[in-house]
Amino acid sequence: ALLDAWDLLKRYRWRFIVPAFALSAIALAVSLFVPRVYSSNATFERRHQTVVTEIGGVPTGRTARESRAAVLNEIKNPAAIDRVLELISPELYSAGLVNSPADVAQLRFEIARHSSVVFEFSDSERDVVRVTFKSSHPRTAQLVVQELVNDYIAAERRHLESRMDQSAGFFRSEVT
């Protein structure tokens, strides 16, 4: 059976080679005209219980589902996207990646539409979160993801510092 197939292939080889070559050439030609899409990813780990909660012994009161929804909202909300655009717009203008406020508005729409936040792993202590953005330019994709994550971390740090200040104020008022 294997020898019969080999004989058949040898006898009609041009009927196999020409269509395979033609299909490969068509696939190559089509791929040259399809726009390139670059994807940038950032992964970070987020603990459920903050240091303040561990010290104070008071749980946050949020369920895991509410906590995840809050993370999604904090990373992709319009205010966060505006802060990111404010930070990266000068570099995008200087690199010629955006040329007008209309381009920035289009990028704002693309960030809202093409960015994703995925929980890769979750357990009782932590979440592993991946932020992804797809763009037609690699530097734009990289800057957007980097600043979305940096903005989220900075907001969480401000929130934690506020809670730490509240706890310190409480301890000071109890001691004096």
Q: pTM for this one?
A: 0.71
Q: What is the pLDDT of residues 151-171, one digit of tens each?
A: 999 988 888 888 888 888 888
Q: Which residue has the tokens 């240091």?
A: 51
Count CA atoms within 13 Å of residue 20 on its CB side. Answer: 5
Contact between 70 and 62 under an 8 Å Cβ cutoff? The reply is yes
What pLDDT was estimated at residue 147? 94
Q: In angstroms, rounded to a whole number, what is the distance separating the alpha carbons of residues 67 and 53? A: 15
What pLDDT was estimated at residue 2? 85
36 DSSP assignment? P
Which H or E run contains 136? none
Q: What is the pLDDT of residues 47-73, one digit of tens each?
A: 876 554 555 554 555 566 667 788 888
Contact between 88 and 143 under an 8 Å Cβ cutoff? The reply is yes
Q: What is the pLDDT of residues 89-132, one digit of tens each?
A: 999 999 888 889 999 999 999 999 989 999 888 887 788 899 99
